Amino acid sequence: MLITASAITFAALTGIVIIFQGCLAAGVPWGKASMGGKFPGKYPPKMRLVAVANMFILGFFAAIVLSEDDILFPGLKAVSGIVIWIIVVFFIVATILNTITPSRIERIWAPVALLQLITSLIVALD
């Protein structure tokens, strides 16, 4: 039960971040809340493409976590046991970076990244 709840929580939190990245890609002026605030306002075109790439990467991460708990995407099960640990490491780094970012507003993502770290670790340890 805890493992499944963790996988679903991870996917839901990741969905929120994907929506945020989609807003950045669409030109919503929230750049100060991302990338250390380096691009305040609307993202430039190149960074909008980065936001789209982030959406796909995060979607893949959610699919891997859901696959690892046998909720969805059984075809990913062959790689999920290894990739889940890459995800855990990713969110260790994301938690640290979102905590130390010079952008105060971006620090709102630190608790989200920490919850993603905890929930992905619970799934990985199962």
Which of 113, 58, 107, 73 shows the shortest CA–CA distance to 121?
A: 113
Task: Please give the helix or strand (H or E) that residue 54 lies within, else none.
Answer: helix 45-68
Mean pLDDT of 110-125: 98
What domain count does the chain have?
1
Q: Which sign, positive or negative, has the C-alpha torsion 51, 112, 118, 93?
A: positive
In 1-126, the DSSP E strands lie at none
What per-residue confidence (pLDDT) applies to 81? 95
Q: Share the mean pLDDT of the chain.
A: 97
- What's the pLDDT tens digit per position in 49-106? 999 999 999 999 999 999 999 999 999 999 999 999 999 999 999 999 999 999 999 9
CB 48 within 8 A of CB 27: yes
